[in-house]
A and B are shown apart, each in its own frame.
Chain A
Amino acid sequence: AQSVTQLDSHVSVSEGTPVLLRCNYSSSYSPSLFWYVQHPNKGLQLLLKYTSAATLVKGINGFEAEFKKSETSFHLTKPSAHMSDAAEYFCVLSGSARQLTFGSGTQLTVLP
């Protein structure tokens, strides 16, 4: 069985400060992990993906994530938040048939 746990349902940061969205996973095999973002009334967009290459993954819009096997974590970070980053973020695990298992999401609020 595989699962994804997003440790915070809501995160609030001030514009210009760092962002940290936490994700832990459980998988019986080497996982492929993703972060997707969902803006209101828009489709899910891929931010970045880990597929057993480099453990530090760079994505779009300045986001990064680090795969840590020993901690079964895949946390998402960004050095400086922008107002446009406010959205729902999903940590996602790819299954054996490539179907995706989503976490429950983290709502990011960026304060001016």
Chain B
Amino acid sequence: DTGVSQDPRHKITKRGQNVTFRCDPISEHNRLYWYRQTLGQGPEFLTYFQNEAQLEKSRLLSDRFSAERPKGSFSTLEIQRTEQGDSAMYLCASSLVGGATYNEQFFGPGTRLTVL
């Protein structure tokens, strides 16, 4: 399967712990996006990378959230000092700028975070 993959699929943690999620985009895609989806809502944009550069991060929910894409391939999203309100599905998507798919974003299956 050559789609977007995310790991882990599920994460249960205690309040105050740090968590890190990984996203592996489609291999030739140069843009990578992170979204958060809470129950009953549509996904909301958090941040995105073009290659290794993080071009937008003002929408990250607080300074407890950070993301990296060190070599322009996979990306990680870290949440420090988790709170119960962080419980949500975290989605990753990738796209190829300028490609035939016209910036279509391909989504991974998501990581479901539960903070106890």
- Residues of A whose CB lies within 8 Å of any CB of B are 32, 36, 42-46, 49, 51, 90, 92, 94-95, 97-105
Contacts and interface: CB of A to CB of B under 8 A. Distances in A.
Contacts of A42: 109
Contacts of B41: 104-105
Contacts of B107: 36, 43-45
Interface in B29-80: 31, 33, 35, 40-45, 48, 55-56, 59
A100 B56 CA distance: 13
Contact of B110 (A43, A45, A92): A43
B105 interface: yes
Nearest to A88: B42
Given A44-B43, A98-B31, 12 more contacts: A32-B103, A43-B108, A46-B106, A97-B48, A98-B48, A98-B103, A99-B33, A99-B56, A100-B43, A100-B105, A102-B43, A104-B41
A16 to B, nearest CB: 28
Contacts of B97: 98
Interface string B78-116: 000000000000010101010000111111111000000
B42 A98 contact: no
A102 B59 CA distance: 14
Contact of B55 (A44, A97, A103): A97
B96 to A, nearest CB: 11
A36 B56 CA distance: 23
